[in-house]
Structure 1
Amino acid sequence: MSKKILVTDAKIENDELLLNTDLETEMTRLSATGQMLVDSDQFSFIYIVDHEEGYQYVTIPEAAWGAIQRGLQAGHEAFLTNAGGKLKLESFRGEMEYLIENITGNSNYGEEMVTKVEQVFTAPSA
């Protein structure tokens, strides 16, 4: 069974996009897969990481999207972080851009998911 890792906070620090989690596992025990999914029922993006016990899903809820948008615009690398370290999320930017493009205007993701993604990621900057 796959475990879920919840992103509890996202911020930009030292030109890096940091996705923080309460996960107690050492980051060195995880490896980035460069693959992402969408959970439109929970309004989340999912980044897949590999662990010796199988895949784990990093759940990125809507509360983190604003920081992610700023990080994408600035071209920052993304990292999953906890008290014990950080893991570079390979291909995060490309995967996010691909998903955002596919979700925009696509009712297959559900009207509410489309609206939320468009408001955060495709709205003109003020």
Structure 2
Amino acid sequence: MKKLNVTEIQEKPEGFVASVKEELNVELARTLKAGNRMLVDSDGLAFIYIIEDELDYYYVSFGKGTWPSLKKLLANQGSLDLELGNSLNIELTAIADELAFLTENIEGNSNYGEEMEKAVSDIFL
């Protein structure tokens, strides 16, 4: 399992675009597709979007620094593309729905940890 860390999200006329610091092999990048699901990394204060290929899963990590952009994405019900390099992008489908579900579920839910609950409340609620 490989982790890709989102460093920035830019708002563009056609939607939002996320950049990662890791570089991917072009052949691998062409095989990746959206997983349509998200997880929570409470210890790392991050939301994780899953992308996948035929053999493996890849975590796309949205740390707390990217959350204000994610909040704006939610408010606009926008789309989000992930730049994989070499002019290859993948749309992270269902991210707004997944993120809305998670942020609502985290509110008042101590199962995610006090720090995660407070961080989500501070930015999303």
TM-score by structure 2 length? Answer: 0.90
Query: Residue 24 of structure 1 corresponds to which residue in structure 2?
Result: 24
Query: Residue 11 of structure 1 corresponds to which residue in structure 2?
Result: 10
Query: Residue 73 of structure 1 corresponds to which residue in structure 2?
Result: 75
Q: Is the 8 A contact 1:17 1:68 kept in 2?
A: no
* Stretch deviating more after TM superposition (79-88 or 93-102): 79-88
Q: Which runs of 5+ in 1 are unaligned?
A: none
> Equivalences for 1:1-126 in 2 at 5 Å?
2-22=1-21, 23-26=23-26, 27-84=29-86, 85-122=88-125
Q: Deviations over 1:24-66 (max 9, x none)?
A: 2344221001011000000000001102441111111011000
Q: Within 1, Cα distance between the matches of 2:82 and 2:111?
A: 29
Q: Is the 8 A contact 2:84 2:90 kept in 1?
A: no
Q: Within 1, Cα distance between the matches of 2:94 and 2:17?
A: 15
Q: Within 2, Cα distance between the matches of 1:25 and 1:91?
A: 25
Q: Deviations over 1:72-110 (max 9, x none)?
A: 101210111143221001111110000001001111101
RMSD over aligned CA atoms reads 1.3
TM-score by structure 1 length? Answer: 0.89
* Stretch deviating more after TM superposition (47-56 or 106-115): 47-56
Task: Give the ranges of 4+ consecutive aligned residues of structure 1 lying more than 3 Å apart after TM superposition.
Answer: none
Q: Is the 8 A contact 1:40 1:113 kept in 2?
A: yes
Q: Within 1, Cα distance between the matches of 2:119 and 2:25?
A: 31
Q: Is the 8 A contact 2:83 2:89 kept in 1?
A: yes
